[in-house]
Structure 1
Amino acid sequence: MANVTQRTILFLIADTGAGHRSAANAITTALKLISQRDQEEWQTRRQGSKESGQESEENRNDSIYPPPTYRIEIVDVFEEYSRFPLREVVKLYGPTIRYNPKLFGDLFHRSNREGTVLAANSLASPLIFNGLLRLFTTVQPDVIVSIHPLINFVTVRALRKLGLHIPFITVVTDLVSVHYAWFAPGVDGYIVPTEQAKELYLKRGLDPQRVHLLGMPIDPKFTRAVDDKVTLQRKLGLEPGIPVALLVGGGDGAGGLPTAVRAISQARLPVQLLVVTGRNRRLYAHLQRTHTKLHVPARIFGFVHNMPELMHAADVIVTKAGPGTICEALSCNLPVVLSGYVPGQEEGNVDFVLKNEVGMLALHASELVNGLRRLIKPGSPELQKYLRNASQVSRPGASFDIARCILSYLPAPDQVSVWQSSQWQRRQRMMSGRLRSAIRIRRLRGRLPRPILRSPVMRKPQLRVRELFSSDGDASES
């Protein structure tokens, strides 16, 4: 029996917004908590077996071989492994949705079809294909998890070229408006957040056995117990008994926060505000200077790490239609008022909120004020309906379910990694000396101090595809 002590899980993301990395971090935290629990249970069983002095053969093997630990790497593949101009094109996502969202919506809808996706992948593939091969051969993952739609088709091609069967899983982080690029034929498993996303998958004619409806990955801290609402409100400097509205603009502080704060203040609604500006330091500074002039009490925060406490202290949340924030709010049984959305990509999120009756859409200041006025009214039937539905729709433990699903694709504990197989040994003999050096450098990087890692000497070598396998006649990819 093999003594497997560690498995490697590789997450592929792109920082085109906070959502993809947040999802990867949420799953990673769940994986670590599962691993910690497994290790503790193994230690308990082992100690119990020693104390009893009676062990079956099965228990003896179990006590000898601990459960595996997990080495987890999260990689922004476009930033770290793609070439010009693909890396720069991907960076246009943020400025486009901020300054010309209508243009982004048009691009989303025009590209959301098979022909456009295949053509775009043909153009982009040569700019990232070799980088993916280098990434896989240096990290040597036991399972690969994609959390971005633009990575999936080219990853399938790269794995086929590599000639090794490494399980490849896609975690979809769009609730309803699932772009065609998310579902690439050849992926081993697809994890989707909603029934609507699953229906789109099935309409593509893909294998129904490979899709798992598990929910949206949110930070496991949303599953932990918190203080009661009154205690949290006092902790945050609020006055219990007065309705609390939480205003969130996303990680970058976008979403019309100043307009919403101004409208609520001018309407003199009987509410207290918790305002989270995210990474928008300029907005944070502005609101800190001016919040004493508001006609409603307001607490101003920048980027926060206690969002579960803020949500449990609030009675309603006002936010743009980001899928992560919506699912976090529902896990805290918090009704949602959507103040904006990204055309195309987030349109389905609006439909999700409205059709499940867990909130409302308020794109204009007057709609926001009127909607909040109805929700904060004592005994509001609309608020009670949203609360009931939120508890039915939410999946606060989704990250744990997703983590367990990913772990199910790993090799069995008594099996060696594909990277230790004779097949990989044969492939290695065909590799160029330059790539072998890249693999050794990658392994060394994990043991070096950060200042040395930033040295130009330690920068990743740029390999051409034809240099990957020095004697592989069909190793070129066009």
Structure 2
Amino acid sequence: MSQRCIVFLISDTGGGHRSAALALSSAIEQLQERAASNGDGGRLGRGEPEAAPEPQPRSEASNGAAAGREAKGGEEASPKLRLEIVEAFEECGGFPLRQFARLYGPASRYAPGLYGLVFHLSNHPQRINEVQRLLSPLMLKRLERRLSELRPDVIVSVHPLLNYVTVAALRHLGRPVPFLVVVTDLISAHHSWFTEGATAYVVPTEETRQLYLEHGLDPQRVHLLGMPIHPRFSLPVASREELRARLGLEPEPPVVLLVGGGEGSGGLRTAAEAISQARLPVQLVVVTGRNRRLYEQLCKEQSKWQVSAKIMGFVTNMPELMHAADVIVTKAGPGTICEALACNLPIILSGYVPGQEEGNVTFVERNGVGVLAREPKQLVRALQELLEPGSTLLQRRIENARRLSRPQASFDIAQLILSYLPPPGQPGPWEERPVMAQVATAKVKGK
């Protein structure tokens, strides 16, 4: 039986897109393993999603990861499944597109106002169409070659600027490859997400579903399934007391988790200093991510703080840290917000990227799971209100987070993706003759 392939198209303009692809890859692997062990052929048919499995801890998926196992007796229970993550701008983008993509990090960090202005000015269907027509030729041919090399049975995009060009590439190749778009913005989804020609759309909230419908796209093709977060957030965890003991934390004082994203940005140092100066009766867990310089600075300054604190770099046990905490302070990244909700954790937002993340702030505040506190005084006041003894506000936010949380979202989305694989024994889109070739042959015969 031929090997099936699913390709995830991403761009590392921020860590969220790769994280979404890794979350879905891991969920697909776990679903395939369950299918193989159950002897059901390893394929989930279209229709109503099955219940998500009880996930098992495992490492993150990686580029070229394979799923599928052999059944007892040596019989192959399912075709091998190859998962490929393609950094499309780096692998397929020509000058100046590749350089433009690399500007995201510096622009959002050092010139957020300018970045927000560009976001809002471009957030119009007509302007987006003009930009797409201008940029697509810079990567169209390279993308076509890459897809021809990988021969995917399903393509999944988790980045808004890759959808138009992917539809064009598949049209030129003449291959009927199902193309799914997974939107990773909670409310303020840019118009570039929505492109005619995709097979299906997955959106995280009702607000993004309404944006999809406003574009006049097929309502039968949109699925409201939540935000893809890593399957480990759906795993059961130890009690808060056990987790705190395991992490070396004190059992009683409230735990404030400070997170700045994978690169450790987001005003961590300012937030920690403000909490220390206010002498709040809390203990801190500060996660600096890959920002080694910030980690070393905070370790040196920690002895001067008026609160107990643990400084950590890049971590892989974020679910445990969140379940051990009473509140999280973080920038308004959609992935971290949904991870916190999956752990029933109240949220204080320390900042946001203008334009792109503004809707995430609205989502948090509108649903009563947290507040925005950009200034140190606002942060201290928000923590005091939330963590005072017998706080009804804390319980209300915990209940709201529990209501909103969708820890199984990656499994639901993975079920949908798998449903578009060719049935066992049927040829894939690259084993059939291209539609354009069939048309050309028909014309020759008609002469």
Same fold by TM-score, threshold 0.5 exceeded? yes
Residue in structure 1 matching 2:319, options 293, 298, 308: 308
Counterparts of 2:318 and 2:435, CA distance in 1: 45
How many equivalent pairs are there? 409
Alignment of 1:29 with 2:26, yes or no, is yes
Alpha-carbon contact 2:173-2:434 (below 8 Å) kept: no
The corresponding residue for 2:409 is: 398
Q: What letter corresponds to residue 389 of structure 1 in structure 2? A: N
Alignment of 1:319 with 2:316, yes or no, is no
Residue 64 of structure 1: CA displacement? 6.7
Residue 395 of structure 1: CA displacement? 0.3
Q: Mind listing any 5+ residue stretches in structure 2 that lack a counterpart?
A: 43-73, 442-447
Alignment of 1:147 with 2:158, yes or no, is yes
Residue in structure 1 matching 2:10, options 5, 9, 13: 13
* Structure 1 residue runs of 4 or more that deviate by more than 6 Å after TM superposition: none
* Alpha-carbon displacement from aligned partner over 1:376-432 (angstroms, at most 9, x marks no partner): 1121111111001100001000000000011111111231112112448969x99xx
Aligned counterparts, 1:199-278, within 5 A: 199-278=210-289
Q: 1:85 to 1:44 in 2, by over 3 A?
A: closer
The corresponding residue for 1:451 is: none
Alpha-carbon contact 2:6-2:82 (below 8 Å) kept: yes
Superposition RMSD in Å: 1.8
The corresponding residue for 1:342 is: 353
Residue 329 of structure 1: CA displacement? 0.3
Q: Which has the larger radius of gyration?
A: 1
Alpha-carbon contact 2:4-2:152 (below 8 Å) kept: yes
The corresponding residue for 1:196 is: 207
Q: Mind listing any 5+ residue stretches in structure 1 that lack a counterpart?
A: 46-62, 431-478
* Alpha-carbon displacement from aligned partner over 1:309-329 (angstroms, at most 9, x marks no partner): 100000000000000000000
Residue 137 of structure 1: CA displacement? 0.5
Alignment of 1:378 with 2:389, yes or no, is yes
Counterparts of 2:437 and 2:115, CA distance in 1: 46
Alpha-carbon contact 1:142-1:418 (below 8 Å) kept: yes
Q: What letter corresponds to residue 313 of structure 1 in structure 2? A: A
Alpha-carbon contact 1:27-1:399 (below 8 Å) kept: yes
Counterparts of 2:196 and 2:81, CA distance in 1: 27
- Other structure's SS at 1:418 match: coil
- Other structure's SS at 1:184 match: coil
Aligned counterparts, 1:49-448, within 5 A: 66-423=77-434
The corresponding residue for 2:47 is: none
Residue 343 of structure 1: CA displacement? 0.4
Share of identical aligned residues, percent?
56
Counterparts of 1:385 and 1:68, CA distance in 2: 48
Counterparts of 2:433 and 2:415, CA distance in 1: 29
Counterparts of 2:296 and 2:75, CA distance in 1: 57
Counterparts of 1:13 and 1:422, CA distance in 2: 28
Alpha-carbon contact 1:35-1:69 (below 8 Å) kept: no
The corresponding residue for 1:42 is: 39
The corresponding residue for 1:56 is: none
* Alpha-carbon displacement from aligned partner over 1:11-59 (angstroms, at most 9, x marks no partner): 00000111000000000000000011111111899xxxxxxxxxxxxxx
Q: What letter corresponds to residue 30 of structure 2 in structure 1? A: L
Counterparts of 1:14 and 1:353, CA distance in 2: 26
Residue 68 of structure 1: CA displacement? 2.8
* Alpha-carbon displacement from aligned partner over 1:98-121 (angstroms, at most 9, x marks no partner): 001010100000000112111111
Q: What letter corresponds to residue 42 of structure 1 in structure 2? A: G
Using the size of structure 2 for normalisation, the TM-score is: 0.89
- Other structure's SS at 1:252 match: coil
Using the size of structure 1 for normalisation, the TM-score is: 0.83
Q: What letter corresponds to residue 3 of structure 2 in structure 1? A: Q
